[in-house]
Amino acid sequence: MNNSEIFQLSQKYMPGGVNSPVRAFKGLEIDPPVIKRGEGAYIYDENDKKYIDFVGAWGPMLLGHKDEDVISSMKEALDNGLAFGAPTYLELELAKFMCETLENVDMVRMVNSGTEATMSAVKLARGYTGRDKIIKFSGCYHGHFDGFLVSAGSGVLTGGIPGSAGVPKGSISNTLVAEYNNISSVKAIFNAFGEDIAAVIIEPVAGNMGVIKAEDAFMNELRALCDANRSLLIFDEVMSGFRVAYKGAQSLFDVKPDLVTYAKIMGGGMPCGAYGGRRDIMEKLSPSGPIYQAGTMSGNPIVMTAGIATLKKLHSNPMYYENIEKYGAMLEREIKDILSQKGIANVINRCGGMMTLFFTKNENVKTYDDVKTCDIDLFNKYFTHMLSEGIYLPPSQYEAMFLSVKHGDKEIQSFSEALRRL
């Protein structure tokens, strides 16, 4: 079957034809390619069309597709069986490696996705502080957990309105929404509810409204506000962890989080997540403490093996991050040059190998409101053109594109040539 035959039939058996909404290309006039295989910086669809992949499975494939070390260690692990639901040496190996190579992570708990990591971290923060309310930022995504699905309503002090059908008002009545990079919006919430706030959760480099890096002063003040109110600060590094630097976004700031969440890259392409942080907080988790969180598949040996191989390879090759920075900067310059020749207004926000090209006339993009100034028709035209040229990008203006260690001069050049033909 070709791409469109598969996608047509998929819609009969899976809602929208997909298992995660963004894959369906809603809002665009084309159907998504159906992907068959990947290798290095490239993916191939069921029509045997080849693409340079700037999505990387939405972040995880930092090493590129089919990394030989990850695949071979997984093949070896498969010989021992798939799952035991019991302690394994592999869990210890990954947990120990993460605690030793990351900062502010004394202990970790493995889970199966980013959503599970963030919702569990919030539960832990609530159990630890004995408080119910959390602060999140408009435009930040922390997974599909009910309590995070709050629209970026303008009423900062209100509980917000659910951003999805099926989310009871009660589930979000303890979720307060502040504005990214706007410390007074956070102060206002702390002034009103300080005693009740268990935690503030933030993407320190946001990727889910397009790339926006938090400002240093904002992060410093956020930490101070949390301290003053004895609330916990949770960094959601599901996307930025091991991406913007091995040690993640927190290494870019002078601020220590109390809890950190990971997923995506740490699973090397397998379903995986983890949350970790201060020992005195983590020890409140069951069975050592009273806060219950569990998972039949958590710490699965095959997943742990992929994580260990991926993180060890990244950690022992710091030049990967230097190269990604180099090619990221090159790509950014190329896009800037080409679009300025074409007279197309834009802002590019980039943090290492994650970046977003915003089609806006704004001078910069620092908040969710800035993001909303983008020309979506122009984005859709750009996206559709690039896809036809074999450049596979995230199908939304509000997402980050990613480089892998396998992207080099040739891939950047192909991108530029395609963009020139826009």
Ligand X SMILES: *Cc1c(COP(=O)(O)O)cnc(C)c1O
Nearest to ligand X of 59, 338 (CB atom): 59
141 is catalytic: yes
Tokens of 284: 């409140």
Site for ligand X contains 360 (CB under 6 A): no
Residues across the chain: 422
List 136, 142, 350, 366, residue binding ligand X (CB under 6 A): 142
Site for ligand X contains 241 (CB under 6 A): no
Give the integer Cα–Cα distance in Å for 325 and 366.
21
Residue in the shown chain whose Cβ atom is closest to ligand X: 114
Q: How many residues bind ligand X (CB under 6 A)?
A: 14
Tokens of 324: 């990604």
Residue burial 58-95, b: 16+ Cβ < 10 Å; e: rest: bbbbbbbbebeebeebbeebeeeeeeeeeebebbeebb
In the complex, the smallest distance separating the C-beta of residue 263 from ligand X, rounded to whole angstroms, is: 5
List 73, 181, 208, 397, residue binding ligand X (CB under 6 A): 208
**Distance set, CA 120 to CA 9, 76, 155 (Å):** 36, 31, 27
Nearest to ligand X of 249, 357 (CB atom): 249
Site for ligand X contains 238 (CB under 6 A): yes
Site for ligand X contains 60 (CB under 6 A): no
Give the integer Cα–Cα distance in Å for 48 and 35.
9
Tokens of 117: 């990591």
Site for ligand X contains 250 (CB under 6 A): no
Site for ligand X contains 203 (CB under 6 A): yes
- Of 213, 264, 366, 406, which one is the catalytic site residue? 264
In the complex, the smallest distance separating the C-beta of residue 302 from ligand X, rounded to whole angstroms, is: 17
Pairing between strand 42-45 and 50-53?
antiparallel
Residue 195, Cβ density class (10 Å: 0-12 exposed, 13-18 middle, ≥19 buried): exposed
Question: In the window 259-278, what residues touch ligand X (CB under 6 A)?
Answer: 263
275 is catalytic: no
In the complex, the smallest distance separating the C-beta of residue 274 from ligand X, rounded to whole angstroms, is: 11
236 is catalytic: yes
Site for ligand X contains 202 (CB under 6 A): no
CA dihedral 53, 54, 60, 64 (to 10 degrees): 50
Give the integer Cα–Cα distance in Å for 163 and 150.
5
Site for ligand X contains 209 (CB under 6 A): no
Nearest to ligand X of 3, 175 (CB atom): 175
Q: Which residues are catalytic?
A: 141, 236, 264
Site residues (CB under 6 A) for ligand X?
113-115, 118, 141-143, 203, 207-208, 236, 238-239, 263
